Amino acid sequence: MDKRNFGDRSEQVSLLGFGCMRLPVLPDNKGIDRKAAKEMLEYAYEQGVNYFDTAWGYLNGKSEAFVGSVLKKYPRESFYLASKMPGWLLKNLPEAEELFAAQLKRCQVESFDYYLLHSLTTREEFDRLYLKEKVLDYLHREKQAGRIRKLGFSFHGSIELMNYVLDNFPWDFVQIQLNYQDWDTMQARVLYELAIQHQLPCIIMEPVRGGALATLNDKAAAILKQAAPQNSLASWAIRFVASLPGVLTVLSGMSTMEQLEDNLKIASGFQPLTAQEREILQQALEAYLEVSPIPCTGCNYCMPCPFGVDIPGNFSAFNQGAGKRLLTDQTQQKEKREEFRKLWADLAPEALAGQCRSCGKCEPKCPQHIRIPERLKILQNLLDQIQ
């Protein structure tokens, strides 16, 4: 496993970081599949992965305790543990103090190696909680006390907000969403360049865009498969971000052993993309964007919907249809229509897009800035048309 540091030689972070938000789960939402998830975490550790990223809310609040329970048998100094403060849940400093203490307890550790302000999205939230309520000062005190080794933030806001937090406050690292689809279309390149200008190591999240870049559509997939039949589609996405200078570790939210094996292969003896491969990847991206998928990563931050709509489930079904090109001129063909409808078969009637009441509760929570009620409406209209 390749290791990286950023001028600090005592720090040797594995190029592949384990994102613990998509660990395998049991059917019918019955919680983490502890056996399978434990096997994956242990195998990753044995293969040299030493960065584990969890958060208060991941896996319905179960991720931190689970990750802590698996890692506790390893020497504490042999892995880096990251967790995050969910600012949107907190009203004031005492709540933040209580939550931080609970996180250490959940994870069964004395300190976090990397601690993040989770999902900075608006200046309002940053100013209210971290400045007015002085939670940022508190986190620096935790750093002085040794309970936080490095302090950073994960980011889903505007370029203006990024400039504001980078210019005015000291950080040890940043965590940004970066992948080859968002590089030009979602300001990812600008955010990355700002972090590099501030000489901050970048931790990368969503390198495979919630799994979408692991499937693409038929045309885009064929381009990549023709260029390198033995390589997975996801491997192109991981290599794209890991090739960028200043990237400390690439977080992958893995759910299966196959995904882990594939990622381990890429991150051991890492080969950056060549100029020719970059061109091929660009061609594949253009083919992928011909049918525009909804940029949902399946993060679940928008859930639950008070009316029971399965927002990511609907978007995922739509994107699968888009990937198979069932939505272009083929929608009139009977078998294509049937195939498209079947993508919704796993969703209960009350979870369908048509149940959306446009209450707007979900939209501000979406880090991808998706106009959720609007997209659900379009999607339901489409389903109605092909009945």
Summarize as ranges the residues that interact with ligand SF4 (CB under 6 A): 296-302, 305-307, 309, 311-312, 315, 356-362, 365-366, 368, 370, 372-373, 376
Choice between 206 and 277, CB closer to ligand SF4: 206
| Contact yes or no for 259/332 (Cβ under 8 A) | no
236 vs 128: CA distance, rounded Å: 40
Residue found under tokens 């490095």: 150
Q: How far is the CB of 379 from ligand SF4 (least distance, A)?
A: 11
Choice between 215 and 368, CB closer to ligand SF4: 368
Choice between 265 and 361, CB closer to ligand SF4: 361
Q: How far is the CB of 298 from ligand SF4 (least distance, A)?
A: 5
Q: How far is the CB of 282 from ligand SF4 (least distance, A)?
A: 24
Choice between 250 and 370, CB closer to ligand SF4: 370
Choice between 70 and 376, CB closer to ligand SF4: 376
* Structure token digits, residue 188: 């990812």
* Structure token digits, residue 65: 């305790």
Choice between 349 and 360, CB closer to ligand SF4: 360
Q: How far is the CB of 150 from ligand SF4 (least distance, A)?
A: 26
- One-letter-per-residue 3-state SS of 325-361: CCCCHHHHCHHHHHHHHHCCCCCCHHHCHHHCCCCCC
For residue 147, the tally of other CB atoms under 10 A from its CB is 17
Helix pair 257-267, 233-242: axis angle to 10 deg: 40
| Contact yes or no for 155/123 (Cβ under 8 A) | no
Instruction: Decide: helix, strand or coil at residue 277.
Output: helix
Q: How far is the CB of 357 from ligand SF4 (least distance, A)?
A: 4
Q: How far is the CB of 310 from ligand SF4 (least distance, A)?
A: 9
Taking the CA atoms of 181, 369, 57 and 378 in sequence, report the sign of the dihedral they define. Answer: negative
